[in-house]
Amino acid sequence: MKRAIRFLCVFLLGFTIVIAGHSAFAEDKKPVKMVHTVPLSGIIGSAPDTGYGLSDAAAYINETGGIGGREFIAIVEDGRYDVPTTLGIFNRFAESEPKDEFLFYSQFCTPCLKALSEKVNQEDKIPVLAGSMSALIFDENVKNNAPYFFATGPGYGEQWGMVLKYIKVNHKKDTPPRVAFHYYDNSTGRDPMEHLKNYAKKFGVEIVMMEPFSPKAQTFAPSFLKFRKEKVEYVLFWNWSIKAGVRYFKESKKYLPDIPIFGVHWTAANLYFNLAGEDYDNHYVVSGYPVETELDNNFVKTVTEMAKKKERKVVAWSFYMQSWVMGQLAAESARQVIREGKPLTRENARNALENIDTDLIGMFDGMKLNYNTHKFSRARMLRSDWGKKTLVPMTPWVDIYDYLK
């Protein structure tokens, strides 16, 4: 974490980082700009790897031809995981940048989604690549209600559905699996509850209790004691705070040593091995991303080589890779528009994203991404292995929608 704070200081000195100045691009071709609002400070702490990811993706895009000869420019801003700050940044660039240059926006801020989607849908109509996969807008009606928004991962509801089916399939008893949903107590924490109830009913899983926790809680012991009393067999841990996660994994091993803990996306991070040690062992988690140790994966190989070239000391690889993917999706959709002989506009870029033809540099072992639902179609179940100090796959890449049928 000390490294993260040190990296944050570097970011805040410049506040805005612009990847520009490549003489290889023709001067008469307008650049393609992407504004990236990320948490470099604020309530959830510093995540500088979110900024490094898009910056390095931009460098890779430009080194591999740009956008039909156009330069790809990444502009990184600190949104502080704060609604007014994030909206202020978006409005500033929406007013100052030409619409035929400022073609993509990306951000990490679930609480910002609703207000931002209303403005984008009514006024700016710019494709938005979101770090959040929240059902606040990424539900079954996202194509109609928020047509310019695309989640950079499977929906949280679908991820929890995959958790429940995996539990059911691997449950060794004749009685229904007894699970507790332990969630971060805010609107995002409550976000997947309806999906959970529906999938639990579908797969024959019993949700024994839904237990909130405060992000400021210094102990989770009262909840763990409740789980033991209610004979909970599996715990679904819904959290995205690294600090809370470290405390949780350490304490759960003391109170619930024999109860598997399941998670989604935000707890799929080898970083926890450094922070929680052996207490992170045997955590099951759904993720739409590969792991940085999978060097036979072409996407991972490309990303880690660029990080080495840029001398990045990446701490949170999941953040870094997700921002990389945001840049790649923008670049590939823009290239697709040009290949189809259409003008590169926000609307055409949005349409291309919805029908994108890409395997994301081999991220899914060669399989392509179906982005028609505005959410990732592919995911895997992983398990943290203390002996190997990495997350290991428990399933192959699956089409999450087929898996949940």
Provide the residue-wise pLDDT of the chain in tens; the chain has 405 residues.
444 444 444 444 344 444 444 445 545 689 999 999 999 998 877 899 999 999 999 999 999 999 999 999 999 999 999 999 999 999 999 999 999 999 999 999 999 999 999 999 999 999 999 999 998 899 999 999 999 999 999 999 999 999 999 999 999 999 999 999 999 998 889 999 999 999 999 999 999 999 999 988 889 999 999 999 999 999 999 998 888 999 999 999 999 999 999 999 999 999 999 999 999 999 999 999 999 999 999 999 999 999 999 999 999 999 999 999 999 999 999 999 999 999 999 999 999 999 999 999 999 999 999 999 999 999 999 999 999 999 999 999 999 999 999
Name the token pair of 246.
């470290």
Q: Which of 160, 127, 164 is nearest to 146 (CA)?
A: 127
Write out the H or E segment, with its range, that includes residue 224: helix 221-229
Write out the H or E segment, with its range, that includes residue 220: none
Structural domains in the chain, CATH included, are: 2-154+293-374 (3.40.50.2300), 156-287+379-403 (3.40.50.2300)
Name the token pair of 62.
């430009």
- Report DSSP state, residue 266: G
Contact 181, 236 (CB under 8 A): yes
Length of the chain in residues, anyone?
A: 405
What is the pTM for the complete model shown?
Answer: 0.91
Write out the H or E segment, with its range, that includes residue 390: strand 390-393
- Give every CB contact of residue 215 below 8 A, 6+ residues apart in sequence: 184, 185, 241, 244
- Whole-number Å distance between alpha carbons of 240 and 249: 13
